Structure 1
C-alpha cells in the first residue's frame, strides 16, 4: 500500500511497503519572518517530529524548503537524499546539523529505496540550484517538482501524480515600483507564464493527476499585507487559476488537498476539501495572523543598528573580490537606499575604472531596503536573495531591463562557484538545434532552458521557461533582458546532418508574451 500525505506547501510524507520518506517539510516563517505556509499546517508539526523516517529529501536551500528549525529536531541518523549541486552548500548545511548519512544524486541518477521503490533526482541544470524527485513506488510514479524547472527534454513520462508549482515565488514584479497599469500588465504576464510552464510539464510527463503545491505563501506581517492580494500579485490561490488549467489540460484530474490530507495509492483522484481557508479566506488570514503574532513580530524586535558606509563598502568589496570572473567586463552600478542614507556602488572593473576617470556610472537598479533588513544582510543572517524574497525591499530600474549579471551577483555572489559556472556556460554551450528552418543555440542564455521546446512564430523565438524573446533575424533580445541569442537560417540540405529531433510539445500559444521576466 502506498500513501502520499500532503503536509502543506511543498511538503509530503510518503509511505510505501514499510518505507517512510519525508519531503521538504516547512512549518516556520521564512525570509526575514515574512513568508508563512498557507493554509496553516502547524497542527502537523508534532507528528512530523515524532515520526520515524527512513529517508529525508530537501530539494534546495530556500527557507520554505530548508526549514532549519524543524530539521534541527529530526533524528540525525535519517538518510538524506541530497541533490549533487556544484557548490555543495546544501550538503554542508545538512552536515552541520548532524545529517552525515547522505546519498548524493546527480541529474537523473537513481537510488533504490527498497525492493520495489526507487528515487530519481532531477536538477535544474542552469546556474540555479533547484531539484525535483521522481518516486517509483510499486508501479505508482509520483513526480515532485516543487518549484524546480529541469530541462523540459529531461522530464520523465508515464507519471501518475505530479506535484508542481502554479503560484509565483519571486519578487518580480510586485516588489518593483511600477505604475498600476504597468504592474497589472506584468503581473498578468508572469501568471500566464507560470500556467504555461505548468501545462507543459503536465503534457510532457503525461500526468494522470496534478496536485497543486509549492505555493502560495502568505504574509502575516501587516506591513506586507498587500502581497496577499490574489488578483494583483503573482501569488494566486489554486481556485483563481483552476479554470485555466482545466481548459488546457481537460484530461488531467486535479487533487485538491488541505494540509494533512492523504492521496491513496489505488486512486489519485480526490475531492475538494472543505475549510475556512477556502470559504472565508479574509477571516481565516486574520485569525492566522493573530495565532502566529509572536513569530511575525520577531522581525521587528529590538533596535536595529544603523548600517554604516564602511560596512556597505566592505560588503560589496568582498562580493567584487569573490566574483571577479563575473564582473570582469561589467560596467554598471547599483544604487542602495536605507534609512535616509544612499550609496552609489560601482560594480566590476570597468565601472571602477570609469569612476576613477571621473566618468560616473549611473546605476540602472535602485534597491530601497529597510535598515533592519540591510543589517541582517551585512551581519550574514540573510543573503540578498532571502532579503529580496521577503518582499520587504523595493526596487526600481531604468531602463526596465533584467540585468542577469547584477542579479546573479546578489543571489549567488556569496557562493562564487555558481557565478563562475555561469560565466563558463556563457561561452561553452555551443550545442545547436534545428527548428522551423533555423539553427539556434540549444540552451537559453538566461537560465539554460532547452530551446528545443521554444515557441517560434512571426520572426520571434520565445523561451518556454521565462519567456524571453529574440529576433530570428538578428538574435537581438526583444523582451526579458539584454542577452542575445545565436540564431541563423538552416543551411542547405547538403550541409551537416541535423541533430536528433526534439520531443514535440503541443503548442500552447503563438501570441507574444511581453514582459515575462523572472
Structure 2
C-alpha cells in the first residue's frame, strides 16, 4: 500500500512499492531563529535522521524547506531530486553538503523512480526559484506544491491528493507600520488572495482530496509573539479558513493532519476518504500549547539574542549596497530611488539606481521611498553574509514603512534576489514584456505578468481592467497602466477586427491544452 506521512509544514515521507522518498523535512528554527514548525514536530526528528531514504527532494532554498542542520545529518548515499533553477544555488548548496548523487530536473521533466513510479518537476517559471513535485505512485497522483506557484496553464490534471499552501509566508503586510484599520483591510485582502489561488489550483488539478500544508509557522521569541495572532495576520490555522474553502471547493475532501499522521493512498475508484485527525492541544488550547512549546525550545529561540554583535558602520552599509548595485546593473538601469536604513541609534540614507551615489543621511537629496528599521543583530547578520535580505525580511524582525504606499518591485527584487543576478536578469526580461502574447476579449497583451511571471492567459478581464490571477495586480485594459498592486505597466493593445493572426496564444478553455497528462 502507498502511504504518505506528513512531517509537519511542507514535509512528507512517501513509501510505495519498497521505495522511500523524503520531502522538505523541516525541524530547526528558520530565518534568524524566528520561525518554528507548528505544531511541534521535534519527536519525529530521530526517525527521519535514522531513516533509509532512496530519494530526497528539497523544493527551494528557503530555510523552512532547506533545513541545513537536518540535511547535514542524512546519509549522503541518498539521491536528490533537484529543481534546475537558473542560479544553480540549490544544487551548489546540496553539493557542498556532500549530496553528489543528484538528478536535476527542469520544468515538467519526468524521472522514473522505480517500477510504475515517476516524479515530474514543476517550476515557478518566473524570476522566483521555487518548485513543486508530481508523484505518480502506481496510478495514485500526489501533487506537492508546497508554496510554489507554477503557471496555471502547466498544472497537471487528475490529481488524487494535493498538498499546497493556504497560509501566508511573507512579511507583507504584517511587518509594515500600517494603522490598525489599514492593516486589517490589507491582511483580509492577502488572505482572500491566498484562498483564491488555492481554489484555482484545486479546480485546475481536479484534486480529489486536499491536505493543508506549508504553514503556518509559529514565532516563539516573545518579541515576535504578535505574529502568532491567527485572526489579525496572514498566518491563520486551517480551521480559520476551512469554511471559505468548503464554499470555494465543495467537491474536494479535506484531510487534516498533524505531524506524524499517515494518509494511505487509495485509488481514485475507491470511494473511501481519509478521516481527519482529531484536534490536538495546539488547536484546542493554542495559547497554552504555545507557552509550553516556547519553554521547551527556549535555548533555540534565545540563540538569536546571544553575544553582542559589532555595531554596523556606515562604510560597511555603503559597501554592501555598492556591491548589490554592481551585481545588478541591468535591473537598475533607468531607476533611481532612496532607501532609509535605521539600526539602533544609527541611520543611513542610500540612493539606489544606475546613476546613484551613496552619501550620508543629511546630504542625500533623494527622499526615501522605503524605510527599513533593522535591529543591529539582523543588520550584522546581513553584512557578514550569514543571512540575505530575503531571510532577514522573512524573520519578521524588520519593521517597514513606505511612502507612497506602492510596491516597488525593483527595490524589493534587489534586496531579495540581488545576490543571485540570474534571478534579477530574468525579472528584467519579464518586465520588458517581449515574446509571447495572448489574445483575450478583444485585447492582445503580453503573455507573462511583469510582476511575478504568471500566465495571463488566465487573467480576469472585466470593466476595462486586466487582473492577474496570482497576486491580483490590475491594469487598465486601454492603456496598460497599473491601477492596483504596484507601478509596472502591462503591454496591451486593442485587437483589430477580423480573425486572430497566426502565432498568438488562444484563450484557453477550462480543460487546458498543454497541461500535464
TM category (shorter chain) comes to: over 0.9
Q: CA deviation at 1:505?
A: 4.6
1:304-352 Cα deviation digits (max 9, x unpaired): 1110111111111111111111112111121000011110101112333
Q: Distance in 2 between matches of 1:286 and 1:141?
A: 39
Please give the residue correspondences for 1:163-242 in structure 2 after superposition, counting only pairs within 5 Å: 163-242=163-242
Specify the alignment match of 2:269 in structure 1.
Answer: none
The answer to whether the Cα contact below 8 Å between 1:140 and 1:265 also exists between their aligned partners in 2 is: yes
Q: Distance in 2 between matches of 1:485 and 1:124?
A: 20
Q: CA deviation at 1:36?
A: 0.3
Aligned length: 504
Specify the alignment match of 1:416 in structure 2.
Answer: 421
Q: Distance in 2 between matches of 1:271 and 1:391?
A: 32
Q: What is the DSSP-based 3-state SS (H/G/I as helix, E as strand, rest coil) of the residue aligned with 1:351?
A: coil
Q: Distance in 1 between matches of 2:12 and 2:296?
A: 24
Q: Distance in 2 between matches of 1:127 and 1:29?
A: 27
Residues 205 and 463 of structure 1, relative CA distance in 2, 3 Å threshold: same
Please give the residue correspondences for 1:32-181 in structure 2 after superposition, counting only pairs within 5 Å: 32-181=32-181
Residues 7 and 495 of structure 1, relative CA distance in 2, 3 Å threshold: closer
Specify the alignment match of 2:514 in structure 1.
Answer: none
Q: Distance in 2 between matches of 1:436 and 1:103?
A: 42
Q: CA deviation at 1:419?
A: 1.0
Please give the residue correspondences for 1:359-438 in structure 2 after superposition, counting only pairs within 5 Å: 360-427=365-432, 429-438=434-443
Q: What is the DSSP-based 3-state SS (H/G/I as helix, E as strand, rest coil) of the residue aligned with 2:368?
A: coil
The answer to whether the Cα contact below 8 Å between 2:436 and 2:504 also exists between their aligned partners in 1 is: no
Q: Distance in 2 between matches of 1:327 and 1:55?
A: 41
Q: Distance in 1 between matches of 2:30 and 2:359?
A: 39
Q: Distance in 1 between matches of 2:345 and 2:510?
A: 52
Residues 204 and 49 of structure 1, relative CA distance in 2, 3 Å threshold: same
The answer to whether the Cα contact below 8 Å between 1:456 and 1:462 also exists between their aligned partners in 2 is: yes
Corresponding position: 1:344 with 2:345: no
The answer to whether the Cα contact below 8 Å between 1:79 and 1:99 also exists between their aligned partners in 2 is: yes
Q: Distance in 2 between matches of 1:181 and 1:5?
A: 41
Corresponding position: 1:303 with 2:308: yes
Q: 2:458 aligns with which of 453, 458, 471?
A: 453
The answer to whether the Cα contact below 8 Å between 2:60 and 2:90 also exists between their aligned partners in 1 is: yes
Q: Distance in 1 between matches of 2:24 and 2:463?
A: 42
Q: Distance in 2 between matches of 1:383 and 1:359?
A: 25
Q: CA deviation at 1:274?
A: 2.8
Specify the alignment match of 1:509 in structure 2.
Answer: none
1:218-265 Cα deviation digits (max 9, x unpaired): 000000000000111000010000000001111100010000000002
Specify the alignment match of 1:464 in structure 2.
Answer: 469
Structure 1, gaps ≥5 residues long: 507-518
Q: Distance in 1 between matches of 2:35 and 2:359?
A: 40
Q: 2:444 aligns with which of 439, 444, 459?
A: 439
Q: CA deviation at 1:15?
A: 0.2
Q: 2:337 aligns with which of 332, 353, 378?
A: 332
Q: What is the DSSP-based 3-state SS (H/G/I as helix, E as strand, rest coil) of the residue aligned with 1:350?
A: coil
- Bigger drift between 326-335 and 419-428 goes to 419-428
Q: CA deviation at 1:194?
A: 0.2
Q: Distance in 1 between matches of 2:384 and 2:18?
A: 45
Q: Distance in 2 between matches of 1:494 and 1:436?
A: 13
Q: CA deviation at 1:197?
A: 0.1
Runs of 4+ in 1 over 4 A off after TM superposition: none
- Bigger drift between 130-139 and 306-315 goes to 306-315
Q: What is the DSSP-based 3-state SS (H/G/I as helix, E as strand, rest coil) of the residue aligned with 1:52?
A: coil
Q: 1:290 aligns with which of 255, 272, 295?
A: 295
Q: Distance in 2 between matches of 1:353 and 1:20?
A: 53
Q: CA deviation at 1:456?
A: 1.1
1:442-477 Cα deviation digits (max 9, x unpaired): 110000000111111111111010110111111110
Q: CA deviation at 1:425?
A: 3.0
Q: Distance in 1 between matches of 2:468 and 2:449?
A: 7
The answer to whether the Cα contact below 8 Å between 2:133 and 2:145 also exists between their aligned partners in 1 is: yes
